[in-house]
Amino acid sequence: MSIFSKLFGKKEENNNKEERFSMSELNVAVIYYSSTGSNYQLAKWAKEGAEAAGANAKLLKVQELAPMGAIESNPAWKEHYEATKDVQEASMDDLEWADAVIFSMPTRFGNLPSQMKQFLDTTGGLWANGKLVNKVVSGMSSASNAHGGQEATILALYNTMHHWGAIIASPGYSDPVQFAAGGNPYGVSVTVGQDGVMQENVEDAVKHQAKRTVDVATWVKKGQE
Ligand SMILES: Cc1cc2nc3c(=O)[nH]c(=O)nc-3n(C[C@H](O)[C@H](O)[C@H](O)COP(=O)(O)O)c2cc1C
């Protein structure tokens, strides 16, 4: 038996929703930053995946901090900015509400966009009161190049998650769907061409990551009851 058959040959799914959610339902905040729409799409798929796994999910953006001049200089950025004006902004209340948080953000020189970093830097009050401990989290990213810094960006997010005392539910190679999506074990990532089109089909992998995040959060929550 090959290592992959051993790893993936036998799946024990528990699809009995009643049994999985006999406890109070699980809350997932999908928090994203996107200039031109790719991470918005990843976040929407993650929300769908979390809901399909039985969770309550909210799609939330972080505040745009770039000056309007910069946004207006890029038609795709301006269009996305206008199109998503009505998406709710993530708040500290949302973080407190969430049992699990799925983040999505593009790489900026192999690092977090300042918009996402600024959001994380406002969580000091919750952190100081121990409210972020045991949140189950995972991250996703995108870049223009196949090796343009997606992994480094997700790992940069996870630095902060360690300080939160969060439990990181990275996908690893927990499902074969990961291989078709580029095989980033830290979190799903995608390459986005200059035309804004995603180069890999990552929808199923995003939904798998969302389900896995919900599953781990369910175990953590049940374990505390
Ligand atoms: C300031 C800046 C830095 C960027 N740095 C990188 C980079 O280091 N590597 C890369 O491949 N793409 C880089 N990009 C491209 C973005 O990652 C790409 O536009 C993004 O993934 C698209 O996601 P979005 O549609 O959600 O905004 C950069 C873009 C900007 C504006």
Closest ligand 1 atom to residue 147 Cα is 11
For residue 23, the model assigns a pLDDT of: 42
β partners of residue 32 = 61, 104
Closest ligand 1 atom to residue 190 Cα is 21
Mean pLDDT of 169-176: 96
Q: Which residue's alpha carbon is at the smallest distance from atom 29 of ligand 1?
A: 108
Is the pLDDT confidence value at 34 over 60?
A: yes
CA–centroid distance, residue 196 to ligand 1 (Å): 11
CA–centroid distance, residue 186 to ligand 1 (Å): 18
Most informative mutation of 35, 103, 111, 112 for ligand 1 (most atoms within 8 A of CB): 35
Write out pLDDT tens, residues 59-100. Answer: 999 999 999 999 999 999 999 999 999 999 999 999 999 999
CA–centroid distance, residue 107 to ligand 1 (Å): 5
Q: Which residue's alpha carbon is at the smallest distance from atom 4 of ligand 1?
A: 108
Three-state secondary structure call for residue 108: strand
Is the pLDDT confidence value at 222 over 50?
A: yes
Three-state secondary structure call for residue 87: coil
Confidence of residue 16 (pLDDT cuts 50, 70, 90): low
For residue 6, the model assigns a pLDDT of: 46
CA–centroid distance, residue 38 to ligand 1 (Å): 10
Most informative mutation of 144, 190, 195 for ligand 1 (most atoms within 8 A of CB): 144
Ligand 1 neighbours (beta carbon < 6 A): 34-39, 106-110, 142-145, 148-149, 192
User: CB neighbours (10 Å) of residue 132?
Assistant: 22
Rounded distance, CA 207 to CA 177, Å?
10
Q: Which CATH superfamily is domain 25-224 in?
A: Flavodoxin domain (3.40.50.360)
Q: Average model confidence (pLDDT) for the chain?
A: 92
Considering the entire predicted model, what is its pTM?
Answer: 0.92
Write out pLDDT tens, residues 206-220. Answer: 999 999 999 999 999
Contacts of 200 (CB under 8 A, 6+ apart): 180, 181, 182, 190, 191
Is the pLDDT confidence value at 19 over 90?
A: no
Contacts of 210 (CB under 8 A, 6+ apart): 28, 30, 45, 46, 47, 48, 49, 50, 52, 53, 102
Rounded distance, CA 23 to CA 219, Å?
11
For residue 61, the model assigns a pLDDT of: 98
Q: Helix 38-52 and helix 203-224: axis angle, to 10°?
A: 50
